[in-house]
Structure 1
Amino acid sequence: MTQTLRVTLGQHSRGGVHGVNQDFHGAMLPHEPLRSRKGIAVALADGIGSSPVSQEASAAAVRSFLEDYYATSDAWSVRRSAQRVLGATNAWLHAQTMRSHARFDKDRGYVCTFSALVVKGREVHVLHVGDARIYRLQGTAWEQITEDHRVHLSSVESYLGRALGTGPHIEIDYRCLEAEAGDLYLLATDGAYTHLDAASAHSAVQQFPDDLDAAAQALVDMAQARGSEDDITVQLLRIDGLPQAQPLLGLRQELALPPVLTERMSFEGFRVVRELHVSDRSHVHLAVDEQTGQPLVLKLPSVALRDDTAYLERFVLEEWVAQRLHNPHVLRPYATQRPRTHLYVAMEYIEGQTLARWMMDHPAPDLDSVRSLAAQIAKGLQAFHSKEMLHQDLRPENIMIDRSGTAKIIDFGATHVAGLTEGLTDPHQPPAIEGTLQYTAPEYFTGQGSSARSDLFSLAVLVYQMLTGQLPYGLQVTRLRSPADTRKLRYVPLRHLRPDLPDWLDVVLQKALHPDPAKRQEAVSEFMHDLHFPSHGLQHRRAVPLIERNPVVFWQTTTAVLALAVLWLTARLVLAA
């Protein structure tokens, strides 16, 4: 049985001598599967003393974070989910201030500090703005893992430089730490930590090892006894157990492996029509829903890989991904409410052809036709990227074109989902090469991190191949092993193969196909804009000299010319003698 994330939590808060407690704290410890998919969250906010409504800001910040974070897409990473929620909370707090009398004096508005921990998988994510603090306790020492956003004017005078609600936009500090069983984290407002130290925290936990609520109360008592007159809040979170480091934890249900399907066979309420495709990765069949008569595609795991757990997890991923993407250029899952007993994937049936077949039928297509298809594929990719997903296997066989000319991305078995793999894979390991080698970006081969620009590279390869029928680097990319190897790559200029195409197109494609992802277009949308609306400078750029376009040919030509000149001079000398 797979071990799950286990923690122990303790909390205590007490108002100061000024009356209303402007601190607010909370936590969410959800059950499975939400615990694996979104993690455990602990949050703390501290209002500013000059504001009569600051306690409302603190409460709103913590409550909205703990509620809205768990409502974000489980395909998103913790960082993206948390920062989206906090950005919206900050905007709401600032709007409340601007609608109140405090718009003339922001120190009396809806403002608070905010600090949070999200423990997901085998990682601890830290979100922070303001001057509350988060410490990590290890033995008798503690390490402050947040930075105070306080501006010091002198040794006695300072002010809060950053907090929620101070402006329409906010910068949130973010850190990701590797979790270890036994780690203890302490969150505290300034009313607590200014009167406590590592020895105090260690003593309280030693005194109440099985009751962290009591330990937190003991620390609040200690801070108050040492002279704290401010609001005091302490939260303690101990990591007791971590899940096993394996990808896509919890996606696969306890489903039986399906039988081998044959024509006219009835299976899970579907009638099999015929076999569409069989490979060493999967078996694909055309089927009809026996209730509605609607055609669909059934995809079953390969017989040869049914004992491979990692493969089966990725097989289930395909339908999971499709259910979270709603785009006309991405294959849709087939919707049915019937319970299932076998492991399979049901998807919509597209009557048409693959991009590979289209390229065979159109060996030298015009630029507008290629741009039209590329724009559709790009829209599908953008749907993946908006959910923090990378397709990772964009190739001609994974693009379907229906009878109306609509292109759709299919086959999501290689998709990387940030929200699923986060905290459950080794961050020191290079990204796995899940896709087809000749369409895969160089950074996968050299051990660098993958990104949306990796999918952009694959899209640019498709555009180049649609126009020329060839690959921009041939098979050179598949032989890369280190970043230094990328300097050996030689891009074949588009106009060497299609002199009828404009000069500027080579510049756009060569940028998108650059071995260094940082030197490509920033996003798929920028690449498509360049393809459709080249800048004035690109349309009227100078002709590139041969030495820049192809230095090998330049020097070969130069050598040949010099050799001929030497022969001519030698002949003249012989004749003169």
Structure 2
Amino acid sequence: MTKALQEQPNQSTALHVEMACASIAGLKPVNEDAVNTQVPDNDHDLVNKGVCVVIADGVSSAEAGKQASQYSVETFLTEYFRTPDTWSVKHAGQKTLSSINLNLFKKSHAFTQQEKGFLCTFTAVVLKSCTTHFFHAGDSRLYRFRQNELTQLTRDHTVNLGGGKNILSRAVGMDNVLQIDYGKSVSEQGDLLLLSTDGIHDFVSQESLARVLSSNVSIQNMCDQLIALAQQANSDDNISCAIAQIINLPEESRDDLNAKLTRLPFPPDLAPGMKLDGYRIDKELFASSRSQVYLITDIQSQQQMVMKTPSINFQDDVHYIDRFIQEEWIGKRISSPRVVNIISQHRDRTCLYYLMEYVPGISLDRWMQENPLPTPKKAIGIVKQIAQALAAFHRSETIHQDLKPSNIIIDDDMNIKVIDFGSVFVAGIAEIFIPLEHLGALGTASYSDPHYLQGKNTGVQGDIYALATITYELFTGHLPYGEKIEQCAHSLDFDKLRYVPASSYNPIIPVWFDRALEKGVSFDLANRYTRLQDFVDDVTQPNPVFLQDDPVVQQSRGLIFWQLMSAFWVVMLVLVVILFSTSS
């Protein structure tokens, strides 16, 4: 596989990089390498994100090395460019890779046999402004060719077993926490950056690499020459490489802009009619102590959208700022018609905010007030859509944690969208939430898993609890444990609560449906659903298990049996005593 050259228009004040790559299976039947490049299609992302080239080598002893390398390359190129502009390259790259690593690690541990799973080496280069950034794990390599001198910028993560045999000591998907090498250096015009897998650099000498990179040919031709040299040297592995050539660097003042973007100021108080960065404020939709939400219009396109701004109360709180910035990134990672769409901005921001699509309609809590006890068909339709939204979060290794009716918009056609990302947990990057855990739970007591409210992340089961609670409320107009749950703070408080059968509020609710709800909101995690789809299935069709006799009834029948047996033995004892007395 040879990829065509990627480049940007040659502008004297802009970053201009040409990139090319090539990859073949070589003597192996399957090509487990993956390589690709990404150039933004707009100047805004070119300035704020730069350009990127990535290479990965699937571990041959792993069962799914090919899938791991392809997933890592494609996901990094997608997710890195979705991270907030306000994140540094290092922060954005590390968080993206942490999420990729944890996903592969979970897949790897789905196998029971040793050395089976999703593992790959990984090397990525991000060229932004006047700086070269790289991320690296494994034994793929990054070289820089500058002024006829070839320098290896990465180190191989291998252990020598003797006899010329090396094994990887680090790879993406190998551990639940990825130790990634990060480095950066000042870029120079004319730099050539070579990324290669061991199918090349284990068989082609550095002198030969330098000779090819110094030749007066296109970088695509260089890639093809390196592939050919590895084949001539009898490379017995997949053979892949990529080359990035810096044609032009932006003015040095771009670095000042990048530094500025890492900490934007909070916006001023906004009012209808005011303008900010080309957007007109139409009206305030929502305001709380933590944030404000406005309906706005893009003056240039006349598109209506929603702007969310941070509360001035937290302008000195670095953890709050990081969480607010993260909301935009999380929203961009999740693609679903049931989740509000985050709008990518192509104009520089002068202050901190992010944009979302405008979703007409009302909140689900208000809808339930206006439509008490809707028909089962309508209610189940809403439940299914909310489950689809949660499934989109879970596919991205993301837990919502604060699902509630006020965070769900429903329109006149009964379509819903989840609109809030303020309390989400992203697997693989949990370290950014640790300082906030001391500030108390961010969820709402009526709908959030009590375990979460006490500081324990129950993952998917926590979102199932919230969905089951909303389902209960849709069908009854009440909460499954009553209003007292709002006052609960400790485990002893929750232990005093008892599930109120849904049928006591709505007598048409069948027993199988009620038992599905009870299982969905169980405080005991061993009894609660572990899969979202299982809950949806059990509230849409009868589960035969829930149609069996109530275990409590069975227990009471057993108790009656033993009571009768005890009475029998008492009677027998009395008769024996009487007979003994008569015979005496």
- Counterpart of 1:281 in structure 2 is 290
Taking a change above 3 Å as real, the CA distance of residues 423 and 44 of structure 1, as seen in their structure-2 partners, is: farther
Which residues of 2 match residues 415-454 of structure 1 at below 5 A? 415-419=424-428, 421-422=429-430, 433-454=441-462
1:82 to 101, 104, 109: 104
Distance 1:300 1:433, change over 3 A: same
In the alignment, structure 1 residue 526 sits paired with structure 2 residue 534: yes
Q: Which residue of 2 aligns with 1:369?
A: 378
Range that drifts further, 389-398 or 297-306 = 297-306
Alpha-carbon spacing, 1:268–1:180, altered in 2? closer, same or farther (3 Å):
closer
Which of the numbers 354, 367, 374 marks the counterpart of 1:358? 367
SS of the residue aligned with 2:333? Answer: coil
In 2, Cα distance between equivalents of 1:431 and 1:79: 29
What secondary structure does 2:309 align onto?
Answer: strand
Partners of 2:511 and 2:477 in 1: how far apart? 18
What corresponds to 2:467 in structure 1?
459
Task: Report how far residue 418 of structure 1 moved.
Answer: 2.0
Structure 2 partner of 1:469: 477
Q: Is the 8 A contact 1:391 1:414 kept in 2?
A: yes
Tell me the equivalent position of 2:401: 392
Following superposition, the deviation at residue 479 of structure 1 comes to: 2.7
Whether the aligned pair in 1 keeps the contact of 2:385 and 2:416 (CA below 8 Å) is yes
Select 1:410's aligned residue among 407, 414, 419. 419
1:504 aligns with 2:512: yes
Task: Give the direction of change, closer, same or farther, for the CA distance of 1:481–1:179 in structure 2 (3 Å limit).
Answer: farther
Q: What CA distance in whole angstroms lies between the structure 1 residues aligned with 2:500 and 2:396?
A: 34
AA at the equivalent of 2:524 = D
Residue-by-residue CA offset, 1:300-352 (whole Å, 9 max, x unaligned): 11122222111121112222222222211101123542222211121111221
Deviation at 1:269, TM superposition (A): 1.0
Identity of aligned residues (%): 30
Hey, what's the Cα distance between the residues in 2 that align with 1:267 and 1:62?
A: 43
RMSD (Å) for aligned C-alpha atoms:
5.4
Look up the equivalent residue of 1:82 and give its one-letter code.
Answer: L
CA contact (8 A) 2:56 2:70 kept: no
Q: Are 1:342 and 2:351 an aligned pair?
A: yes
- Counterpart position of 1:175: 175
- Other-structure match for 1:291: 300
User: How far does the alpha carbon of each residue in 1:17-72 deviate from its partner, in whole angstroms, 9 at most, with x for none?
Assistant: xxx99xx99999x9xx999xx9x999795789xxxxxxxx99x7997687457447
Residues 275, 285 of structure 1: 8 Å contact kept: yes
1:265 corresponding residue in structure 2: 274
Aligned AA for 2:387? A
Match of 1:570 in 2: none
Residue in structure 2 matched with residue 491 of structure 1 by the alignment: 499
- State the secondary structure of the residue aligned to 1:343: coil
- Any conservation in 1 of the 2:108–2:116 contact (CA below 8 Å)? no
Q: CA contact under 8 A between 1:473 and 1:489: conserved in structure 2?
A: yes
SS of residue in 2 equivalent to 1:528: helix
User: What are the ranges of 5 or more consecutive residues in structure 1 without an aligned counterpart?
Assistant: 1-19, 49-56, 91-110, 128-132, 137-143, 148-171, 182-188, 190-230, 232-249, 550-577
| 1:504-547 per-position Cα deviation (integer Å, ceiling 9, x unaligned) | 11111111111133432232222111111222443x44467689
Aligned equivalent of 1:564:
none
* CA distance, structure 1, for counterparts of residue 459 and residue 450 of structure 2: 12
Q: Aligned letter for 1:270?
A: Y
Contact 1:251/1:317 (CA < 8 Å) preserved in 2? no
Distance 1:276 1:119, change over 3 A: same
List aligned pairs for 1:53-64, cutoff 5 A.
none
Distance 1:312 1:435 in 2: 18
Q: Quick check: 1:256 aligned with 2:278? A: no
> Which residue type is aligned with residue 99 of structure 2?
S
Return the TM-score normalized by structure 1: 0.56
1:479 alignment counterpart? 488
Q: Helix, strand or coil for the counterpart of 2:463? A: helix
CA deviation map 1:60-97 (0-9, x unaligned): 7997687457447466724444359989xx9xxxxxxx
- Indicate if the aligned counterparts of 1:125 and 1:176 stay in contact, CA closer than 8 A: no
TM-score for the superposition, normalised by structure 2? 0.55
TM-superposition CA deviations, 1:443-500 (whole Å, max 9, x none): 2134433311111111111111122222212343763535x87654411111111112
Kindly provide the amino acid, as one letter, of the partner of residue 314 in structure 1.
R
The secondary structure found in structure 1 opposite 2:285 is strand
Q: Whole-Å Cα distance in 2 between the matches of residues 403 and 319 of structure 1?
A: 27
Whether 1:320 and 2:342 are equivalent positions in the alignment is no
2:405 is equivalent to residue 383 of structure 1: no
Q: Is the alpha carbon distance of 1:315 and 1:457 closer, same or farther for their aligned partners in structure 2, counting shifts above 3 Å?
A: same
SS at match of 1:437: coil
For the 8 Å contact 1:69–1:85, the answer to whether it is kept is no
Q: Secondary structure at the match of 1:323?
A: helix
- Aligned-pair distance for 1:433? 2.1
- The residue identity in structure 1 corresponding to 2:381 is S
- CA displacement, residues 257-282 of structure 1 (integer Å, 9 cap, x when unaligned): 21111111111111111121111011
The 3-state SS of whatever aligns with 2:334 is coil
Farther-moved stretch of structure 1 (439-448 vs 302-311): 439-448
Q: Do 2:264 and 2:351's aligned partners in 1 also have CA atoms closer than 8 Å?
A: yes
Pairing 1:53-202 to 2, within 5 Å after superposition: 67=73, 70-71=76-77, 73=79, 77-82=99-104, 174-176=174-176
Q: Tell me if structure 2 keeps the 8 A contact 1:115–1:126.
A: no
Q: Is the 8 A contact 2:400 2:463 kept in 1?
A: yes
Q: Residue deviations 1:407-450, cap 9 Å, x none?
A: 1001111111224x2455669x8996221122111221344333
Alignment partners' CA distance in 2, 1:116 and 1:301: 40
For the 8 Å contact 2:340–2:357, the answer to whether it is kept is yes
Structure-2 change in CA distance of 1:485 and 1:72 (3 Å): farther
Secondary structure of 2:465's match?
Answer: helix
Q: Distance in 2 between matches of 1:113 and 1:472?
A: 42
Change over 3 Å in CA distance of 1:530–1:179 after alignment to 2:
same
Q: What runs of 5+ residues in structure 2 fail to find an aligned partner?
A: 1-26, 38-46, 81-95, 125-135, 140-156, 161-166, 182-197, 199-235, 237-258, 557-584
